[in-house]
Amino acid sequence: MATINFDINDALRDYMSDPASIPASEADSALLDCENEPESLTNQVINPVLNPIVDAVAEDPDAIMRASNMDSLQFLLKFAAFLPTHALSKVFDLIMSGMSAEVDAANSDMESPDDEGTLPHHKKLLEIFGFLLQWTIAAVEAKAAEKSSTAPAARGRGKAKKGTKDDTWDSTAQLQSALDIMCKVLKLKLTSIFLTTSERDTFVGLLTRPVYMVLESEQRAKSIPIRMHCFKVLCIAVKHHGHGYAAQINVIQNLTYFEHLSEPMAEFLHILAETYDYPQLTDEVLREIGNKEFNSNDTRGPKSISSFITKISELEPRIVIKQMTMLAKQLDSEVGSNPSQSYTLRCALIEVCGNMVSYLSNQNERSESHKSQLNAFFDVLEERFLDINPYCRCRTLQVYMKLCDLDLKFPKRRQKAIELACRSLEDKSSNVRRNAIKLMGAFIKTHPFTVMHGAQLSQKEWQARYDKVQEELDALKPPPGIPGFGEENGNTTVDPALLDDATQLASPEKPQAMTDEEKLEAVKKAREEAATSEAIEKLTLTRRYYSEALKFIEVLHEATGTICQLLGSRNKSEVLEAIDYFEIGDAYNIEQNKVGIRRMLRLIWTKGNSDEGKGVQTHLIECYKRLFFEAPTSFSPNDAANYIARNMISLTFGATPAELTSLEQLLSTMMKGGMIPDAVINKLWQVYGVQKREISRTQRRGAIIILGMLATANPEIVVGEIETMLRTGLASHGRNDLQLAKFTCVALRRINPTGRQAKDSTVKFSRLPNDHAVCVRLAAISEVPSDSKEWYGVAEQAISAIYAIAKHPDTLCSNIIRRKTRTVFGQPQSRPTSRDETQQITQNITQHVGAFADPTMTQIPMSQNKPPNRDNAISLSQLLFVVGHVAIKQIVHLEMCELDFKRRKQEKEKLASAGKADKPKEDADELDLIGGTSEDDFTEAIAHIRERELLYGPNSLLALFGPLVSDICANNTTYADKGLQAAATLCLAKLMCVSSEYCETNLPLLITIMERSPDAIVRSNAVIALGDMAVSFNHLIDENTDFLYRRLADTDASVKRTCLMTLTFLILAGQVKVKGQLGEMAKCLEDEDRRIADQARMFFTELSTKDNAVYNHFVDMFSLLSSGGMDEESFKRIIRFLLGFVEKEKHARQLSEKLAARLSRCETERQWNDVTFALGLLPHKNEDIAKLISDGFKVVQASA
């Protein structure tokens, strides 16, 4: 039979150019017939040809050299894409088994000295099998890739069955066997078979080329068995057969073009260095990477290289550290050409530096070289805190998080790092800030100051320890100038050779021998001095330890202030990190942290259409649960309830009204979620109602505050304990502690939920009769004699509670006002003024109060001769406060009556339509009365009562006080008491909210007060009142909004804040028309008070979402700001901020034209600069405007 003349170089050349060009003329005729129709290559055609070849090669590998066999196999491989998988699998097995048998034969002949002449023959066979194996693996991989890419596609019916059958073939096992056989081949002594290096390299390439090709498949590279088999082939080839340089080229190519191979290539080099003791390849690859310059369009390469060097530095730090000088070149990569590639590489090298620090810290060596290496890596990391790219800054922070977990703490470097992390909290990138918060938490959890006093970081405790050690040191150190200390110690360093003997004044005498007592004394003194010296040394070290701990804690306190601000970030992940940080800090007892824990309460109001808003709320609740509502597991149920109740009460201590409102929302949400057990509620009632022993006022107050908050979610909590409240908060305890009485009234209000809470409540509340004990006690507590300012809070809440729960609150409150009036005006000598007009008013009030007197009311004698006292102004202030608050609550009560009427009417209509006529007669009559009145008639009647009856009706009690209040406010010099003026202004404002007529009459007076009152609180109240009136009587206030805007320039920051908040609400709610005054709001963006500036920023951000509002009003704002003499830098910052909201190109163009028209009218250089600055921020692209700017500049220069 004819044998082939196989030349590996020719075969490879043809294969590389085009496998289809390889001739197969000696192939079986049955196969050649299918050359033009390769689809006809079925198992029925192939098996009769392939089976004899399989048998022949199995019997003797030399059979592969027969031309028919070789060409038949080459033909099949040329058309591998059309072969059934069964046939391709059979070809694969054939070549593998043939090669394995040939390896065994070659190995046997090499061991036998007599058969060395057969080696050239073995060489030829190995080359043939190697060539065919390479081709087969390529065909198998192409088939696998084709199947995976077309797997989802539907096929025709006839081929579907075949496809299903083919899909059962998985070539993974065969591929592993092939790789094992390659290893077997490479274990041969190839230098004996391949006499030249080029022949050997060519043959080794036949085995390694398919390995690299297999790894190019991401699916194959993910398979650990395949990956490990591939690595084994390559490692043997590199170690024993000079494949190192070729492997280097392939590794770099793989890293450049195949992202998924970045970590596998690192793994390969690690195995090669550790298992096969060949680190040279890693060195060369790292050296080449260090010198590599990337194409500016190449984004994949830098990313893949970055992953590789990060991974290799984890696996082989010992090798990488030697090449750091080369790799460090990439840290200085230019940003200009391709920023994305440079930051990716810098991120990787930052992580490599971190890995090097980890590696060095685990070494036992502590030489100078070791220290200098550590310092160099730390220097690089510290530099990168200020990297130009935020991703690099983030990576630096993440690297330090890993370093925190090292056993070595590096105290000096750690302190430096925490200071840098604290600075990063103010980074402009939210991602950097988020990671900085996380790092601060990691620093706390892994701090090194746990050796002596546990892990707590209370600054107060550490400072006390430091002070104590300092005292001990001061006590041990001798004062300066004591003989035997300073001088003697100073001379001990002198060289004795420099000194002459002492001058002999007398004949030398022999020194007397020391007695035993003197010897003992000397020994004792030496021991004491040694002990003192040792104690000083120990205390000095302790002091240094405490000093370093205090430095660390100081940075944490500074960071906590910044993180408190970050709780308001728009980036929700940043907020979540801040919450976690405060939770960590609380565990370590950092005092400043308590501020953050209180501050984050406001996050309960976070809104979000997506899960983000809910995510913040949920995270906050979980955090508070862990901090305050989870007792240690070792506690009994009773102890746990006590622990939680005590924690809940502590949340009220020192809380501001805003914090209490947020806490109420939090507890209400938790109560609805079933997170607060009944046992805790019972404990709270026990604390509140305890009578037999004295407890702190704050604790009792705290208990009722919390109970009132929980009652917003479940009013039954309060309903069941009314007796306790009557016995405690509305009895002697409440009279002695007005705050307790106030919060008891608040809790009672919760019995009848209103607004949204009423909709959620399942229990319908029936109002209490006026003679009910609760109503009687509420009225009594509002009349408690007191000159404390706390009285006003009690009266406000008591009246509010009466209106919430009493059946006829107006009657009850009328009686309160009558009694209070008789108290104030019942004594002729104690009237607060002698003016005729005022006397007339007070006489009218006294007469009317007498006429309206409640027959059950205790009469106060009018003629009682009581000497004048200094409490008259306070009593009158309290009366006016009650009048004003009753007026406001009466309006609300009327509105509630109207809503109740409409609700009942709707119910009646529903019942009528459902045909239910089985109602009791009394109810039916009442419903008939309702049915006979239309909603419009009822609404008109209510409006008439409000407008004409409450303040102007002949029988109205409130009508008596309208003229009095106006008179007191108008005559502030006569009624000079500051408290009286404040109460009168508040009362006037509330009465003005009742009737538009009264409002219109007294509006000039209120505006005058708002403008001229010396009291900031009075001015703030007037601003709020005008805001309320703008909602009720818009037509009156709309003409006077200029007065409101003027308060934005008030000298007091609290008035400015109040005004800004009021205007924000009115403008965003559409209650007032914005004219040209928005410029005043814009000025607040540069206010010295940070809260005002932030509030203004929030206003404009919200305004920008409403129909191009910033664009519409920009020109007016610009005019006001430009003409106001504002500092130029402040002006520029405001304009830059405002123009950030002009996003549409059309709007930018139109604004440019409007502003450009001003250039010709500019009178000063400053005006011209202002306009050109604004134009420079707008992308107008208008040549006319550019020319105008150029001309204008010349004009200004000429006039200058």
For residue range 766-793, what is the model confidence (pLDDT) as tens digits? 889 999 999 999 999 998 999 899 999 9
pTM of the model: 0.80
pLDDT for 309 equals 92
d(CA 650, CA 663): 12
To the nearest whole percent, how much of the chain has pLDDT over 90? 47
Average pLDDT (1112-1132) is 87
Per the CB < 8 A criterion, the answer to whether 425 and 563 are in contact is yes
Q: Which residues contact 116 (CB under 8 A, 6 or more apart)?
A: 109, 110
- HSE, CB side, 13 Å, CA atoms: give it for residue 48: 8
**CA 1095 from chain center: how many Å?**
21
Helix (H, G, I), strand (E, B) or coil at 707: helix
pLDDT of 986 over the 80 cut: yes
Closest CA to 265 of 303, 217, 304: 304
pLDDT for 149 equals 64
Q: Token pair 């690089």 is at which residue?
A: 380
Average pLDDT (440-461) is 92
Q: Where are the alpha helices (DSSP H) in 1140-1200?
A: 1145-1159, 1165-1177, 1183-1199
Q: Is 95 exposed, middle or buried (0-12, 13-18, 19+ CB in 10 A)?
A: buried
pLDDT for 1165 equals 82
Closest CA to 706 of 673, 738, 676, 736: 676
Phi-psi domain of 429 (left: phi exceeds 0; alpha: psi -120 through 50; beta: other) = beta
Helix (H, G, I), strand (E, B) or coil at 956: coil
SS (H, E, C) 990-1023: HHHCCCHHHHHHHHHHHHHHHHHCCCHHHHHHHH
pLDDT for 1038 equals 80
Query: Among the three residues 583, 599, 628, which one is the final residue of a domain in this structure?
Result: 628
pLDDT for 159 equals 41
Helix (H, G, I), strand (E, B) or coil at 1176: helix
The confidence band for 518, taking pLDDT boundaries of 50, 70 and 90, is: low
Task: Give the phi and the psi of residue 1140 in degrees, each rounded to 5.
Answer: -65, -20
pLDDT of 858 over the 70 cut: no
- Mean of per-residue pLDDT scores for the chain: 84
Average pLDDT (586-599) is 91
671 is a domain residue: no
pLDDT for 1077 equals 83
pLDDT of 414 over the 60 cut: yes
186 is a domain residue: no
The confidence band for 649, taking pLDDT boundaries of 50, 70 and 90, is: very high
Q: Domain span at residue 50?
A: 1-147+171-181+195-203
87 is a domain residue: yes
pLDDT for 853 equals 45
381 is a domain residue: no
Structure tokens at 529: 């001095």
| Model pLDDT for residues 543-568, shown as the tens digit of each residue | 999 999 999 999 999 999 999 999 98
Per the CB < 8 A criterion, the answer to whether 211 and 166 are in contact is no
1191 is a domain residue: yes
Query: Among the three residues 603, 628, 653, which one is the final residue of a domain in this structure?
Result: 628
463 is a domain residue: yes
SS (H, E, C) 350-390: HHHHHHHHHHHHCCCCCCHHHHHHHHHHHHHHHHHHHCCCH
d(CA 421, CA 64): 70
313 is a domain residue: no
The confidence band for 918, taking pLDDT boundaries of 50, 70 and 90, is: low
Structure tokens at 729: 């908060």
Q: Which amino acid type is present at position 348? A: A
Query: Among the three residues 628, 663, 693, which one is the final residue of a domain in this structure?
Result: 628
pLDDT for 161 equals 40
CA angle 289, 223, 226 (to 5 degrees): 85
| Model pLDDT for residues 274-287, shown as the tens digit of each residue | 999 999 999 999 99
State the greatest distance between any 2 C-alpha atoms of the chain, in Å, as a whole number: 148
pLDDT for 94 equals 93
d(CA 1064, CA 1017): 20
pLDDT for 116 equals 64
| Model pLDDT for residues 876-915, shown as the tens digit of each residue | 999 999 999 999 999 999 988 888 888 888 888 888 777 6
pLDDT of 176 over the 80 cut: yes
pLDDT for 1187 equals 63
Per the CB < 8 A criterion, the answer to whether 96 and 133 are in contact is yes
The confidence band for 927, taking pLDDT boundaries of 50, 70 and 90, is: very low
The confidence band for 488, taking pLDDT boundaries of 50, 70 and 90, is: very low
* DSSP assignment letter at 223: -
Q: How many domains does the chain fold into?
A: 3
pLDDT for 519 equals 63
d(CA 21, CA 10): 12
pLDDT for 489 equals 44
The confidence band for 948, taking pLDDT boundaries of 50, 70 and 90, is: confident
The confidence band for 1037, taking pLDDT boundaries of 50, 70 and 90, is: confident
Q: Which amino acid type is present at position 714? A: N
Top-confidence residue, 471 or 936: 471
d(CA 558, CA 595): 12
d(CA 1109, CA 1102): 10
End-to-end CA distance of the chain: 108
**CA 1123 from chain center: how many Å?**
41
Top-confidence residue, 212 or 116: 212
The confidence band for 950, taking pLDDT boundaries of 50, 70 and 90, is: confident
Beta-bridged to residue 806, according to DSSP, are: 768
Helix (H, G, I), strand (E, B) or coil at 636: coil
d(CA 567, CA 434): 11
Per the CB < 8 A criterion, the answer to whether 58 and 121 are in contact is no
The confidence band for 158, taking pLDDT boundaries of 50, 70 and 90, is: very low
Per the CB < 8 A criterion, the answer to whether 547 and 467 are in contact is no
d(CA 504, CA 1189): 100
d(CA 1183, CA 447): 62
Beta-bridged to residue 66, according to DSSP, are: 3
pLDDT of 980 over the 60 cut: yes
Closest CA to 886 of 954, 958, 947: 958
| Model pLDDT for residues 715-753, shown as the tens digit of each residue | 999 998 999 999 999 988 999 999 999 999 999 999 988
pLDDT of 312 over the 80 cut: yes
Q: Which residues contact 532 (CB under 8 A, 6 or more apart)?
A: 476
Q: What b/e readout covers 230-265, taking b as 16+ CB neighbours within 10 angstroms?
A: bbbbbbbbbbbbbbeebbbebbbebbbebbbbbbbb
pLDDT for 337 equals 47
| Model pLDDT for residues 799-839, shown as the tens digit of each residue | 999 999 999 999 999 999 999 999 888 755 444 444 455 55
pLDDT of 627 over the 70 cut: yes
Question: E strands, 640-735, where?
Answer: none
Average pLDDT (332-351) is 70
> Which span out of 437-446, 510-519, 852-861, 937-946 was modeled with the highest average pLDDT?
437-446
d(CA 815, CA 857): 8
CB 1053: neighbour CB atoms within 10 A? Answer: 14
Top-confidence residue, 175 or 295: 175
61 is a domain residue: yes
pLDDT for 1157 equals 82
pLDDT for 754 equals 75
CB 166: neighbour CB atoms within 10 A? Answer: 15
pLDDT for 280 equals 94
d(CA 182, CA 100): 9
